[in-house]
Amino acid sequence: MLREPPGVGLVEDIHHVRPWNGASRARRPVASVKTLAILSRKGGTGKTTVALHLAMAAWLSGKGVLLADCDRQGSAQEWRRERTIAGPVVFSTKTPALFATQQAAFRAGRDLMVIDTSPSASEDLAEAVRCADYCLMVLRPSFLDVRAVRETAELVSRFGKPGAFVINQAPPRRNGREMACVGDTVTQLTAMGRPIMPIGLRARIAYQSAVADGRSVQETHPQSAAALEIGGLWREVESRLWPSALPEVAE
């Protein structure tokens, strides 16, 4: 079920969500680069903010990270120009060149490539999905976002790729209770047959202020609820990209 890291309290105990079938998460060779595609066909979902923060969370955890900026707006590149200290490599590319970018990341010894996709035609998203080891579909808890993400989920299924929804910009609780839009969104997403990340993200000013400074909330507000959210979400993503080896069963 959806939960938050300790001390945060996002979307708690709303709905039981279908667990992801770990059998499809076969390990790739240790030497290969893992690829995470951040997907949204709808603008305004905060897709780039999620991509930047997950790339930073991975980098802060010690991984070599390349962020492939496929968004025509080039927002990830703008963020990197604002950053005056070390961080993930941000490379502007087009979706047809993603495979070549992936190979370059491998040759450079990167552990992870994060793809910030463009909210555009299906053929662009298809290239990102084709290259991905895992797909994260970003949406806000709204009727229009749920409608828009359905086609993305169908695309991920068509390619047979593992993936999950992540709820972003969730409104704050009122009187200790989750807003109805969040519960409704969880119900509709569950009906699509894909898992929902148990850690979602609230609408918080800290995300925007950190990005404007070329940083992440884990750097600017390390003890904040936003930093706890991102840390929790990254650990969930990491466990799917690098699943623990299954224990041997004695015969």
pLDDT, tens only, 64-117: 999 999 988 899 999 999 999 999 999 999 989 999 999 999 999 999 999 999
The pLDDT score that the predictor gives to residue 245 is 53
What is the pLDDT, as a whole number, of residue 5?
A: 53
The C-alpha atoms of residue 87 and residue 66 are separated, in whole angstroms, by 10
Judged against a pLDDT cut of 60, whether residue 244 lies above it is answered with: yes
Q: Positive or negative, the Cα torsion across 250, 21, 36, 12?
A: negative
Element (DSSP H or E) covering residue 89: strand 89-92
Chain centroid to CA 159: how far?
18
CA–chain centroid gap for 114, Å, is: 9
Question: What residue type is assigned to position 144 of the chain?
Answer: L
pLDDT at residue number 32: 82
Write down all domains in the chain, each with its CATH number in brackets: 33-241 (3.40.50.300)
Average pLDDT, rounded, for the chain: 86
Which pLDDT score is estimated for 247? 53
Q: DSSP secondary structure string, 7-27? A: TT--S-S----PPP-GGG-PP
* Cα distance from N-terminal residue to C-terminal residue, the chain: 34
pLDDT of residue 122: 72
| Residue 26 structure tokens | 């076969």
CA atoms in the 13 A half-sphere facing the CB of 19: 4
Q: Model confidence over 43-67: pLDDT tens digits?
A: 899 999 999 999 999 999 999 999 9
Q: State how far the Cα of 18 lies from the Cα of 24, in Å rounded to an integer.
A: 15
